[in-house]
Amino acid sequence: METHAAPPLPTVEDGQRWKRLSPVETGPFGRCPRCGEGHIFHGFLTLRDRCEVCGLSYDFADPADGPAVFVQLFACVPGVIFIVMLEILARPGLWVHLAVGIPVLILTAVLPLRPIKGWLVAAQYVNKAQEAGTAQLWAKLNDERPAD
């Protein structure tokens, strides 16, 4: 039976070692992707500058339009289909569409944004995703030598 060595644990400047956490364990709950204890968000969707527990700088995090795209594709489309089917099957008055449709769209469009944004930020950290020209920042964050 062949055994494989576990991947090395990430380190920081003070030599502290952190357990490798899954983005699914931390991101949707707004937890720090490195320590799992601190918070990613300050407010509803505003990212903090750094983790208050382990000090991880969130300068690397740039989910851009990703959360909105995921919400549109996987949450808003079923909400709109529900409203259209309500019209086709029941032909209710405008007040029913306002009373039912607006809350459905708010629930399907706004509530998933935070967990999805947290997941994307955590996934960027775990997978070391980076934009062109950010190798120096990643090297600093992960105590590594930048790739040339």
Give tens-digit pLDDT for 36-83: 999 999 999 999 999 999 999 998 888 889 999 999 888 888 888 999
Q: Is 14 exposed, middle or buried (0-12, 13-18, 19+ CB in 10 A)?
A: exposed
pLDDT band at residue 6 under the 50/70/90 scheme: very low
What is the helix (H) or strand (E) element at residue 25, kind and residue range? helix 23-26
**Residues 83/104, Cβ–Cβ less than 8 Å:** yes
| pLDDT confidence of residue 136 | 74
Is residue 103 pLDDT above 80, yes or no? yes
DSSP type of residue 54: T
**Which of 121 and 134 is assigned the larger pLDDT?**
121
Overall average pLDDT of the 135-146 stretch: 68
- Which residue would you say has higher pLDDT here, 32 or 107? 32
pLDDT at residue 11, as a whole number: 47
Pair of tokens at residue 74: 């996987």
Residues 100, 108: contact at Cβ < 8 Å? no
Token pair for residue 53? 């527990």
d(CA 48, CA 43): 9
pTM of the model: 0.74
CB 53 within 8 A of CB 60: no
Confidence class for position 10, pLDDT limits 50, 70, 90: low
